[in-house]
Structure 1
Amino acid sequence: MKKIVPYIVLILCALLLWDLLFSFGDATFHIDGDTVDGPLGAALALLFGAGGAILGVVVAVVVGVVLAVVFAGVGVVLLAALGVAGVAVAAAIVPFMLPLLALVLVWYLVSRSRKNRVVHAQAV
């Protein structure tokens, strides 16, 4: 199967090229009520179709860039708002936490002395 796939793709590309080069009669379009067909009509149809596709790609890229800038700005504002909210919550909690500061200090001193006793016991 893997050996036959390149040949199938090559045959399909050859058929597409044959259709593009030798069958211009089926492409028609209208400009201001006038029908344009034949080789000129096919060439103009390809030109207008490709122009529309290129214009679509350009518009999609511009919209992507604008959305990236907008969402980056929203992200910065959101991070700033979260920072301000965190500072506000910390400022609101601090007065209630002050009595616990003495307890934390005692807890640290006791754990430090306990750690020193364990180190001395292992050294002896």
Structure 2
Amino acid sequence: MPKLSSGTKQIFEAMTGCPVYQIAAGSNPVKITTQNLAAPAIGDEAWSQLLTFTAGGRDSVVKQTAVRSGTVLLVVSGSPTLVDSHTQKALDKALARRRARQPPARVLHAASGPFAFPQED
């Protein structure tokens, strides 16, 4: 999964590459502070960051975690506590749905004898 992994890593690095920046939401300035966090030890790869949005003297903290497992990429964003408590459940659900969509594996039985060929179920 080099392309999926490198693309996700590149997005997270871009978002946290500048620890403080400002955007405009309409005519209102929004200050964004970013911080890399230790990612959970799940899936094949994981990334995590904390974003603090400040506007009108109020702060809003959002945690964002991305997990790659095979060809599945899951991104969970929200309250840090909720992201921590729901990421594994969300990944399990995504993987179960992915498995349910794949056709069942073909089972071959080997026959014996000089002219035997595998038989398919």
Class of the TM-score when normalised by the shorter of the 2 chains: under 0.3
TM-score (structure 1 length as normaliser): 0.27
TM-score (structure 2 length as normaliser): 0.28
Q: Larger relative CO (CA 8 A, sep 6+): 1 or 2?
A: 2
Q: Which has the higher strand share?
A: 2
